[in-house]
Amino acid sequence: MKTCFRIRELRQKAGLTQGELARRVGLRSSSIVTMWESGDRAPKSEILPRLSAELGCTIDELYGLDPPKQEANRPGA
């Protein structure tokens, strides 16, 4: 899955607007988040730790390299 789709999906799952996410990771404008989600631009490496923390995922999950975390209700958890 493309990074842009993971960022949008994870942001929506976190219940954040593009503007809220932008502010939380220290951006001045939500237009950057729009560009990430459309695939026109990738997040800069220095933003990735803050982005993954705000979205509650790993950096690998942002890029679709790790499967999403399972809910705590699964058997054996």
Model confidence at 41, in pLDDT bands (50, 70, 90)? very high
The mean pLDDT value for 13-21 works out to: 97
Alpha carbon distance 62, 60 (integer Å):
5
Quick one: which of 5, 9, 3, 4 has its CA closest to 69?
A: 9
The mean pLDDT value for 16-37 works out to: 96
The mean pLDDT value for 68-76 works out to: 53
- Domain 3-62, architecture per CATH: Orthogonal Bundle (1.10)
Tell me the torsion sign for CA atoms 46, 59, 3, 14. negative
